[in-house]
Structure 1
Amino acid sequence: MSKFEFDEKVLSDISQTADKVSSSRRKLIKLSLATAGAAIAGQVLPFRTAHAQSGEIHVASMFDLTGNLNIYGVQAMNVSKYAVDSINRGGGVLGKKLILHAYDTQSKIELYSRYAQEIGSDDRVAAVVGCFTGASREAARPVLSRYGKILFFPTIDEGGECDKLTFMQGSDCLQQEAPLIEWAAKTVGKTFYIVAADYVYGHVATAWTQSLVSKQGGSIKGVEYVPLDVSDFGSTIRKIQTASPAVVMSNLVGNNHIAFYRQFAAAGLNKNIKIISPTFGLGNEQTVLTPEEASGIVVAYSYFESIDSPANKQFLDGFRKMYPNAGPISDPPVQVWNGWQQWKVAVEKAGTTDTAKVVAALESGIPYVGPSGKVSTDGPSHRNIQDIHLAKVSSRQGFEIIQSFGQVKPSREVVGAGACDLTGKDASSHRMINPKF
C-alpha cells in the first residue's frame, strides 16, 4: 500500500470535519443534473460503438477558449490539438486518422451540456477529453454517459465521481495534500492556517487538510473560506498575523484569489510563514506575480516543465514548435495529453474503439510513459496512479522540483460516502456520489 493511500482513520476524521460540504455538493449536483437534463440521470443507454468512416476516427474536446476561464482552457485545447496531431503523424489509431471536433464552451456551463448532447448524438465520436471545473464536468458527464461516450477529465478535483465511462486524469486531494503536509510538518513546522475557496472543492480539500495535519501530529490555528469573487484579503491577513502559524495551506482558486499572494507578501508574511498549495500554478499564477511575491511557494503536481526526461523534452520541443508563443505548461494540459495517449494505448490493446472493450483495457492498468512519467489507470477508482512532485516557485517565475514520490496511488474512497469500486460493486455506475455527513 502506498504511504499516502487513504485509510479508514482518515476517512472517519474527514467525515467528522466536513459537515459544511453536503449542502454545497447537493446544490452542485442538482444544478448540474438540471442543466444536463435530469430525465437522463440513472437512465444510461447501452454502450454504443463509434463508427469509423473512410479510415477516420472522430474524437472531441470541450474547453473554455473565451470567457473568464480561458486562462486554463486555451492551453488545454492547444495541447489537445497537439496530441491529436502527434498521434496522426505517428500513424493514427489502429492505422486510422483522428479527426478532432474542438468546442469553445465560452466559460458557460449551459454550453457544456449543449455540446455534450451534440457530441453524444454523433455516432462517429469515440472519446472526449475535456471540461475544466467540476461544475462543467457534471454538466457534460451525465449526457456523455447516457450516449456511451468515454470522458477523460484532466483537472485536479475533490472526488465523488463514480462513472464507468469517466476517467479522472488529474491528481486527487490525497495524492497532493499528503506529501505537501508531510513535507511541511517535517521541514517547516506543525502549526497550519487554512485559506480556502468557498465552494465544494475548497471545503472538501480543507477536510483533507485537517485530517492529514492531525495524522502528522500537527494542529490547525484557523480556517477561513473565501468567496470566489473576493480579492480583498485584508481581514484574512490580519487573522493569519494573529494566529502566527508556521504554514499556510492555500486551497484558493481563480483570478480574484491571486490577490491573496500579493497582499500576503506586501504584509511581509512570506518572510516567516511558508505557503503550500495544491492549486497554485494551475493558471500559471507564478508568471502573473512578481518573484518577490511568489518565490518559495510550494506546490504538488504530477507534472512540471522542469522534469528532466527524454519524453518530456520531446513533448516540450514539439509543443513549442507548434505553439511558440503559448507560454508555460501546467499540470492539466499535460493530463490532456496523457488522456489522449492512454486512450490510444487502450484502443490498440482492445483492437477496437468499442466502448466496453476500451474501458476494460484501461481498467487493466496498461501503462503509458509520457512527459509526466509513467501513468496507469487504477481500475476501481478510474484515477491515475502517477508520480507526484513537490516544487517551489523559483526567482525566475518557474518551478524547481524539491522532492518526488513515485507512483502514488489515488484514493478509492469518496469523502463521507465510502468506496466506489468501478470494477466490482459499481461496475455499471454512471453517477456522481453526494456525500452524506
Structure 2
Amino acid sequence: MSRSGRLVPGPVPGPVSSGPPVAFARERSELLEIGDETVAVALVVPLQGTAGIFGPSCELCAELAVEEVNRAGGVLGRELRLVPVDGGAAPQRVAAEVDALVSSGAVQGVTGWHISSVRQAVAPRIANRVPYVYTALYEGGERTDGVFLTSETPDIQLYPAMRTLAQERRLRRWFIVGNDYVWPRRSAQAARRYAARSGARICGEAYVPLGTHDFADVLRRVERAGADAVLMLLVGNDAVRFNRAFARAGLDQRCVRLSTLMDENMLLGSGGAATHGLFSTAGFFASLVTAENLDFHAQYARRFGVDAPPLGSLGESCYEGVLLLAALIEQARSLDVRAIGASAESVSFEGPRGLLRMRRRHVRQRIYLAEARGLVFDVVAQLPAGPPDA
C-alpha cells in the first residue's frame, strides 16, 4: 500500500501456517522490516472446521475496514495491515501462532471472530502486551487485561429473546442443543435462569462435539421431551446440519428454534426448506434497513462484487473489530495496552450499526430478533433490555 492509504497492486499475504513457530521465521522477518511504516494486526478467523463456513466473509469485511481506515490516514499516521491466522485450528495451536507473532513484534494488535475456547487460549498469552479486540458473541465474563469485546452476551441477547418468544408464542418447554465447549455450556446455565423468569423450563439438554454430522439421537430426545422450543447453541456447519435434520424429521412443524449464532451464510447453507420456525437474535442483520447498513452493503458490493460471500453478522463483527482497534489506538495516541485501556471508556466509532460506544471494555449495542423467511432474515423486533442483574 502507498503511504497515502491508496491500495497498490501486489502480493496478498496468505494465512499464517499451522506448523510450529519456526515455520514463521521468514514471514516475521519480512514483517519486521516494514514494521516502522505499518501497524500490523493479526486477524484470527476460522478458515477450516465447522466455523469455516463464515471465515471468507470475515476476512473480506476486515479487509474492507482496513482500506477504510487507511483512506482516512491510517493509525498514528501509519498504514494498518492484516496478518491472517487460521482461528479454526486447535486452540493451543492458534494461541502459539498469535504468541509468536506478538513476541517477535510482527503484529501490534489482534482481532477477529473465533470460538471462546480459542479466545481463552489466546488471551492469557498476550495479556498486557497488545490490544485484543474479540468480535464473537460469547458467554460473558471476560476480564483479561487488554481484551475489548464488540458482540453480544447472554444477558442482553438471549434473555430478552427467550422472554419475548415465551410471551408471544406461549413457549413453555425449551430443549437446549449445543456444541460441547465453554460458550454453549455457560450460555445454557444462563438459559436455565432465563427460562424460569419467563415462566418456562428447560426440559432437556444435549451437547455434541464440534463437527457432528448425525443428530438422529438428539432429535429423538427433543421429540420425547415434548419440547415446544429448541435453543440452538451450535456453531457453523453443525447448525446447518442440525437445521436440515430438524426439518427432515418434521420437528419444524411443532417446535420453534432460537439461535444466538446464525448468520446469513449459515442460513443459506441450511436451505430455505429447513428454516421454517427458525429465529435468530443478534446485534446486526444484513437485512436491517438503515442508512449505515445500506452504505455498508454498497461498499462491500463495489469492492468484492456480486459473487462475494454473503454479508452477515459475523463478517460485520470483523469489520467492527478493525474499526474499534483503530479507534482505541487513535484515542490513546499509543500502541501501549495500558494507555489504550485507560482511555477506552471514551472511545466511540461509526459502523454499519451506527454510532457505538464502549462501556467496561464491551461495546454497548441494540439487539434484534429476526425470523427466517426462506433464505432471508426478517427483523421482527428490537428487543428490550436484559435482566435487572445484567
Quote how far apart the aligned CAs of 1:182 are: 1.0
For residues 125 and 89 of structure 1, what CA distance do their matches in structure 2 show? Answer: 21
For residues 329 and 232 of structure 2, what CA distance do their matches in structure 1 show? Answer: 39
The TM-score normalised by the length of structure 1 is: 0.75
Which residue number corresponds to residue 10 of structure 1?
A: none
Quote how far apart the aligned CAs of 1:105 are: 5.1
For residues 378 and 52 of structure 1, what CA distance do their matches in structure 2 show? Answer: 34
Unmatched 5+ stretches in structure 1 = 1-34, 37-49, 414-437
> Which AA in structure 2 matches 1:247?
A
Q: Give 3-state SS (helix, strand or coil) of 2:237's partner.
A: coil
Seen in structure 2, the aligned counterparts of structure 1 residues 171 and 411 have a Cα distance that, compared at 3 Å, is farther
Measured on the aligned residues, the alpha-carbon RMSD in Å equals: 2.8
For residues 140 and 232 of structure 2, what CA distance do their matches in structure 1 show? Answer: 18
For residues 274 and 318 of structure 2, what CA distance do their matches in structure 1 show? Answer: 30
Seen in structure 2, the aligned counterparts of structure 1 residues 247 and 207 have a Cα distance that, compared at 3 Å, is same
Seen in structure 2, the aligned counterparts of structure 1 residues 67 and 296 have a Cα distance that, compared at 3 Å, is closer
For residues 106 and 229 of structure 1, what CA distance do their matches in structure 2 show? Answer: 12
Quote how far apart the aligned CAs of 1:132 are: 0.3
Seen in structure 2, the aligned counterparts of structure 1 residues 117 and 235 have a Cα distance that, compared at 3 Å, is closer
For residues 123 and 203 of structure 2, what CA distance do their matches in structure 1 show? Answer: 38
Contact 2:41 2:110 in 1 (8 A): yes
Q: How many residues in Structure 1 have an aligned counterpart in Structure 2?
A: 359
For residues 64 and 93 of structure 2, what CA distance do their matches in structure 1 show? Answer: 24
Which residue number corresponds to residue 383 of structure 2?
A: 405
> Which AA in structure 2 matches 1:402?
V
Contact 2:282 2:369 in 1 (8 A): yes
For residues 343 and 379 of structure 2, what CA distance do their matches in structure 1 show? Answer: 33
Which residue number corresponds to residue 294 of structure 1?
A: 275
Residues 190-218 of structure 1: CA distance to partner in whole angstroms, max 9, x if unpaired?
A: 31222222222222111111110101111
Contact 2:58 2:113 in 1 (8 A): no
Which residue number corresponds to residue 11 of structure 2?
A: none
Quote how far apart the aligned CAs of 1:83 are: 1.0
Quote how far apart the aligned CAs of 1:236 are: 2.7
Quote how far apart the aligned CAs of 1:77 are: 1.8
Residues 260-293 of structure 1: CA distance to partner in whole angstroms, max 9, x if unpaired?
A: 2222212222122211111233x72211122121
* 1:46-85 alignment runs, 5 A limit: 55-85=37-67
Quote how far apart the aligned CAs of 1:177 are: 0.7
Contact 2:52 2:236 in 1 (8 A): no
1:202 and 2:184 equivalent?
Answer: yes
For residues 204 and 65 of structure 1, what CA distance do their matches in structure 2 show? Answer: 25
Which residue number corresponds to residue 339 of structure 1?
A: 321
State which of 357, 364, 372 in structure 2 corresponds to 1:385.
364
Seen in structure 2, the aligned counterparts of structure 1 residues 244 and 365 have a Cα distance that, compared at 3 Å, is farther
State which of 356, 376, 396 in structure 1 corresponds to 2:357.
376
Unmatched 5+ stretches in structure 2 = 1-19, 22-31
Which residue number corresponds to residue 160 of structure 1?
A: 141
Residues 307-361 of structure 1: CA distance to partner in whole angstroms, max 9, x if unpaired?
A: 2222212222112222222221222222222122122223333233332222222
> Which AA in structure 1 matches 2:261?
T
Residues 237-257 of structure 1: CA distance to partner in whole angstroms, max 9, x if unpaired?
A: 233333333322122224234
Identity %: 23
Which residue number corresponds to residue 79 of structure 2?
A: 97
For residues 186 and 335 of structure 1, what CA distance do their matches in structure 2 show? Answer: 30
For residues 124 and 289 of structure 1, what CA distance do their matches in structure 2 show? Answer: 39
Q: Which moved more, 1:365-374 or 1:175-184?
A: 365-374
Contact 2:51 2:235 in 1 (8 A): no
The TM-score normalised by the length of structure 2 is: 0.83
> Which AA in structure 2 matches 1:389?
Y
